[in-house]
Amino acid sequence: MSRIAASAVIHPMAVIEDGAVIGENVKIGPFCRVGSRVTLKDGVELVSNAVVTGLTEIGAGSTIHPMAVIGGVSQSLHEAGEDSRLVVGENCTMREGVTMNCGTVGGGGITSVGNNCLFLANSHVAHDCILGNDIILSNNVMLAGHVRVEDRAILSGGCAVHQFTRIGRHAFIGGLSAVSYDVIPYGMLNGNPGILGGLNVVGMTRAGIERAVIHQVRRAFKQIFESEGSARANAAAIRDEYLDCAPVIEILDFIAAESDRALSSPNRGKN
């Protein structure tokens, strides 16, 4: 049996399947469909012609625009109909035509999106992706399965991200870029194939990082990617030099972590 809060406003031409949970002050416009295992938290709005299905939870204050399909079955070739979930955080906006798929049992069983994220028209979040907070996916951005995107990353229009790739915090991906390898925190990647062209200095400045710290990060970037040897070896070698610089340590930890992908670099992929 559905649980629908008395304050919810549901258009008579919307379809709410039996079992759905609808929170306080939810607004559901005409021609929307809400599946039987969906939970819409307080203040969620489905503008019109939106579909929310699967074992899906939409966080408070989020908005879903027309033609979006949220919580669909994964497009994995290994999909076998097992139970899996999609969880979207608070105050997220999913514009026209956005698609988000539930996870797969083999990939952890959950696709997860943090708070305050913006998904522009026709962007896609595939199965088992894990996204942090305050992320922007511009129009037509495509995330393949198992991608991880950390807080405050910005992905520009039409870029495509290979499965299992990691994109670090405050990274910036240029329009139409092909992201085949991991992108370090604060990194800026452009092109097809994607090249790590430097640091997202604008984003760092907007985040309140001091100029002196930005200069330290730039110096560390050169030591990692412009010195002889592998990026991972170079990163390990300079750690003691930057113990008092949190952004550099964040980059070094990202590089040292286990990953299925190589690192994006000025020379494309470099371990």
CB 21 within 8 A of CB 8: no
Among candidate residues 35, 71, 107, 145, the one labeled active-site is 145
CB 144 within 8 A of CB 128: no
Strand partners, 110: 85
Q: What's the CA gap between 147 and 153, in Å, rounded?
A: 13
Among candidate residues 71, 128, 132, 146, the one labeled active-site is 128
Q: For residue 81, give the amino acid letter.
A: G
Instruction: Report how far apart, in Å, the C-alpha atoms of 94 and of each of 6, 119, 162 are.
Output: 25, 5, 22
Instruction: Give percent helix, percent strand, percent coil of the chain, each to the nearest 5.
Output: 15, 30, 55
- 145 in catalytic set: yes
- 191 in catalytic set: no
- 127 in catalytic set: yes
Phi-psi region of 91 (alpha: psi -120 to 50; beta: other; left: phi over 0): left
- The two beta strands, 15-16 and 33-34, are parallel
Among candidate residues 127, 146, 162, 170, the one labeled active-site is 127
Q: For residue 82, give the amino acid letter.
A: E
Report, as residue numbers or ranges, the catalytic residues. 127-128, 145
